[in-house]
Structure 1
Amino acid sequence: MNMTAILKSTAIALVAMTTTATAESYNANHFFAERHSMVRGPYVEFAEKVAKETGGEVKFTVFSAGSLLPPASSLQGVRDGVAQVTYHAGTYTPSELPIANLVGNMAFYNTDPLVMAFASTEFGLTNPEQQAEWKANGVVFGGGYSTSEYFMQCNTPIRTLEDMKGKRLRMAGGAWSRFAEFVGAVPVSIPSSEMYTGLDAGSLDCAVAAADALDSFSLKDVVTDLNTLAIGNYYAGFEWGYNVPFWQSISAENRRVLFNQMAYYLGQHRIEFDKDVEKAVTSAQNAGMTVTEADATLKNALAEFVVADEAVLIKTAKERGVKDPETILTSFKATIDKWDALLANVDRHDPDALAQLARAEIYDLLDEKTYGVD
């Protein structure tokens, strides 16, 4: 057999192997590291449970830390079938997801992460305008999430409004960047993976992020001060977004398995996220980091910003083509208030109790035969 024939034979064999692998397993994508609370439970454990509950009919191979898709490409990647399920941070695609970014920028309305995880999930699954947006982008929305509260993690003390002047703050974009400008700081838009370098090199004064970053991004090595002013929390986009052909190809019974597992990990990831924050802050304090509260001038400035920024949210949404952002925000606020009340009467540290509530109020009300199919 000549070399050309050998290469041709090898190529055919590789294609066959790839086709077989694709038929047996699917790709699950997340750009956080595998040790992160939003990956190790909602993706790694999730994949194991789904494979077991579907009798091996739905098997996900989990790719983490951007090894399959970079953050800005996750929406396109799931639409095009590079991944069959992915996490997506909505900030990366404001033009494609104007409604998701509109509600995602309401992060200061209620900073309770558990409330926002459940509220964003129900809204994303049931609001007609939001559903139309997912469909237009070739994704079946599966469920939301929320980070823990965002805090200023700094290499310089921040106590007062005056302390904020001219400080360079890593922000998540949108409302967070506008808040920085509102208080006289300078917003810096960089990925979370670059926070350490920025603080270490002095190009950042603070990273504004959930405090688990002290461990997950090793910020405790470069952060000397943490201010506990809650600068919102992040939930824009989705924790699980599915490729449409994949979703429609699996059985209704297997879609119900996915519903049930998402209901469980919706609450589980919040419990684990907060545990990681507590552990990270304690460890950093033991290593010498100072934890402090904002003074009245800074708290008042945040309160003033929250009121003023809603008009900006509405104006920006209209510029991006959202027809009636006022009505959408009213609906979202009602959903938030509903979950604020519901979660007051459940053990917030019991993942099974939270899963039962998520099923009863959200997932059991969906029809696995038609959701994402019609």
Structure 2
Amino acid sequence: MNSLRAAVAVAALALSVGASEAKTYRWITFKPQGAGDAQQRSTQWFVDEFAKRTGGKHTIEVFWGGSVAGTREIPTALASGVGDFGDIITPYFPDQFPLNNAVGFFIPQPNNTREIGELMEKWHAEIPQFEQELANSGIKAVGFRPLESYGILCTEPVESVADFKGRRIRSYGFAYPKLIEALGGSPVSIATSETYEALERGIVDCTPIGPALARGWKYDEVAKYYIEYPIGASFGHLLAMNLASYEGMDEETRAIVDQLGKDYLGVYADMLDDDESTVREAWESELGVTVIDPGVSTEDMATLSANEGIQEVRKDWIERATALGVDPDPIVAELEFK
């Protein structure tokens, strides 16, 4: 927190000069520079493209690895002007950003990474409350970074959905505990950083995750069975700006940022697809991970989603959206199995 306070003071001085004149913007992120995954590479792509499209007039300096603000500090740091750009792990802030966390209440859902990103773009363009929710915190969304489509990684084979019964499955957030209970499993709340050891020691038998993330966290070293259970993509990260920094840009630069945000989704999704393909190839060869398809249909997922516990979570979001003046029905329709 000391680094965050110091950065606030520096940012306040910079803003007093005038954000519209800034030529070097600051991007604060939790991602390590050497991560090498789609999230880190696409961040670097955005930064490089910004310099290129502004003809070098403006640049972005990235402060990697939480060096300025940790994951849970970034919204406050952006709002305070510590950073001009930053990536926010949206599910960490369901009460602050309930609308922008809509997907997190609708797990499982049928959309993939690109489709979730496109839905977020659509909702921001068509429903003013999505942007206003962020503006209330001094933030502007300039891009969207959904996570990959998830299955379930286990330490033992799961040949059918019935085999999830009695399994201890890693859980988090609002929707996953109810999904796990609907499958007959026992939800166990464990942090991402602690899941490797939990799988290794048998504290949990399975965890919902996608291939690229499973490899990134090395969970596939201790859990060798990936179940193609169609949970869908979760919404992950907002690419956000300090609202004053965004509004202080000249019209040309602001238009470049807007277009970069639109282009970003396709670039990121392509990188994520490449990562997943590489991981699946490694699973088949040197890593020895067995992929199991339990034969779950769209109809099966629709039936599961009708579970009372799952519906309770969805009703919670519907009530929040309604209270904010949003018609939830069109959004819900996009997130249901049909």
TM-score when normalising by structure 1: 0.75
For 2:5, the equivalent position in structure 1 comes to none
Q: Which has the higher helix share?
A: 1
SS of 1:35 mapped into structure 2: coil
Gaps of 5+ in 1: 1-14, 338-374
- State the one-letter code of the partner of 2:136: A
For 2:253, the equivalent position in structure 1 comes to 254
Aligned-pair Cα RMSD in Å: 3.1
Gaps of 5+ in 2: 1-9
1:91 shift after superposition: 1.5
1:320-366 CA-to-partner distances (Å, cap 9, x unmatched) read 574168823414646x89xxxxxxxxxxxxxxxxxxxxxxxxxxxxx
CA distance in 2, matches of 1:203, 1:55: 53
Change in CA separation of 1:242 and 1:191 when aligned onto 2, cut-off 3 Å: farther
Q: Which has the higher strand share?
A: 2
For 1:186, the equivalent position in structure 2 comes to 186
For 1:52, the equivalent position in structure 2 comes to 52
For 1:40, the equivalent position in structure 2 comes to 41
1:307 shift after superposition: 3.1
- State the one-letter code of the partner of 1:270: A
CA distance in 1, matches of 2:298, 2:333: 22
- My pick for the range that moved more, 283-292 or 191-200, is 191-200
Is contact 1:147-1:270 (8 Å) kept? Answer: no
Change in CA separation of 1:40 and 1:51 when aligned onto 2, cut-off 3 Å: same
CA distance in 2, matches of 1:169, 1:305: 17
1:32 shift after superposition: 3.8
- My pick for the range that moved more, 210-219 or 162-171, is 162-171
Change in CA separation of 1:305 and 1:332 when aligned onto 2, cut-off 3 Å: closer
SS of 1:188 mapped into structure 2: strand
1:318 shift after superposition: 5.7
CA distance in 1, matches of 2:248, 2:71: 26
Is contact 1:154-1:225 (8 Å) kept? Answer: yes
TM-score when normalising by structure 2: 0.82
CA distance in 2, matches of 1:299, 1:155: 26
For 2:266, the equivalent position in structure 1 comes to 267
Is contact 2:104-2:175 (8 Å) kept? Answer: no
Is contact 2:77-2:83 (8 Å) kept? Answer: yes
1:270 shift after superposition: 0.6
For 2:4, the equivalent position in structure 1 comes to none
Q: How many residues align?
A: 318
SS of 2:145 mapped into structure 1: coil
1:284-337 CA-to-partner distances (Å, cap 9, x unmatched) read 2212211101255x9876432323467424531366574168823414646x89
SS of 1:31 mapped into structure 2: coil
**Between Structure 1 and Structure 2, whose CA radius of gyration is higher?**
1
CA distance in 1, matches of 2:200, 2:321: 40
1:26 shift after superposition: 2.5
Is contact 1:314-1:326 (8 Å) kept? Answer: no
1:77-128 CA-to-partner distances (Å, cap 9, x unmatched) read 2222222212222221111111122344335342222211111122124311
For 2:99, the equivalent position in structure 1 comes to 99
- My pick for the range that moved more, 177-186 or 59-68, is 59-68
- My pick for the range that moved more, 205-214 or 103-112, is 103-112
User: Is 1:31 the counterpart of 2:50 in the alignment?
Assistant: no
For 2:232, the equivalent position in structure 1 comes to 232
CA distance in 2, matches of 1:58, 1:187: 48
